[in-house]
Amino acid sequence: MTDKFRDLLAVIDRLTAPDGCPWDREQTPLSMADYIIEEGHELVAAIRSNDPAEICEELGDVFFILLFLANYYEKRGVFSLGDALEHNRAKMIRRHPHVFGDARFENTAEFLKTWEKIKKEEKDGSGKPSGLFASLPSSLPPLVKAYRIHSKAARAGFTWPDDEEVERQVESEWLELLDAMRSENKEATAHELGDMLFSLTELGRRKGIKANEALDFAARRFLSRYAKMEELAAARGAILSELSLDEQDELWNLAKEEEEGSHGAAKGDN
């Protein structure tokens, strides 16, 4: 494994050498930032597609970007890859006192509260802002951000006492959304829709479901079914968009039945 890292770093060194690739030599951490996000999304997509070959390739792409950044800073004497790895090693040991120390926790909730406490102490010692949400990246996608906010708030004890209260909150937000839509006030409707999604995210979190992931899978199902609808329409010599809504609904149901049938067959094979 170490040799493979060295081999890839050697490629990066060659690319960024004076006679290397002009494009690679021009890159900076700032210019590479969007590529980190893009490659991360591609890796997540591969994982959710459960395609080992694609996961392997995308994981390699992520490592390339990270090693490229580490190489950039090391060449300029800012810090080395070893510094970054050592910093993380020490942090993980510090934040897992039940594994590397004598601490004992009754449950995961207790451990996560301690995790947040240790993080806060780390921030206090660094001179950086140490509020509960100070470490929350502002650039997180909204559903991911909402999940992380609820998760952190729960660790601090600021959440509904039981699931039933969250369910009632979701119902309340739905009624408020309906009222806002009836008023035809676009700003109020957007406000209430946001509150609804925020509360649904917390309900999902309590059930062990991440809203961002659940929505992504729902979008994937829609795209898969729609592609099947187009295929079924073409088999009938028709163009899907030119069919009536009833005809499109018929194809949607056929696509859905076929999808559910294939899932059932897959389960039966296991």
Q: Tens digits of per-residue pLDDT, 169-226?
A: 999 999 999 999 999 999 999 999 999 999 999 999 999 999 999 999 999 999 999 9
- Residue 228 contacts residue 258 (beta carbons within 8 Å): yes
Give Cβ neighbours of residue 259 (< 8 Å, ≥ 6 apart): 221, 224, 225, 228
Q: Is the pTM of this model over 0.75?
A: no
| Burial environment of residue 138 by CB neighbours within 10 A (0 to 12, 13 to 18, 19 or more) | exposed
Res 120: pLDDT: 78
Query: Which region among 58-62, 92-96, 119-123 has the lowest average model confidence (pLDDT)?
Result: 119-123
CA distances from 137 to 64, 127, 134, 140, 244 (A): 23, 18, 8, 6, 46
Mean pLDDT of the chain, nearest integer: 91
- Residue 98 contacts residue 105 (beta carbons within 8 Å): yes
Res 60: pLDDT: 95
Instruction: Assign domain 142-209 to a CATH class.
Output: mainly alpha
Instruction: Assign domain 2-92 to a CATH class.
Output: mainly alpha
Res 128: pLDDT: 62
Give Cβ neighbours of residue 189 (< 8 Å, ≥ 6 apart): 177, 180, 181, 183
DSSP state of 5: H
17-39: b (≥16 Cβ within 10 Å) or e: eeeeeeeeeebeeeebeebeeeb
More confident residue, 262 or 270: 262
* Structure-token pair, residue 49: 């597609």
Q: Is the pLDDT of residue 261 over 90?
A: no
* Residues 203, 154: Cα–Cα separation, whole Å: 12
Residue with tokens 């800073």: 73
DSSP state of 242: G
Query: pLDDT tens digits for 33-53?
Result: 989 999 999 999 999 999 999
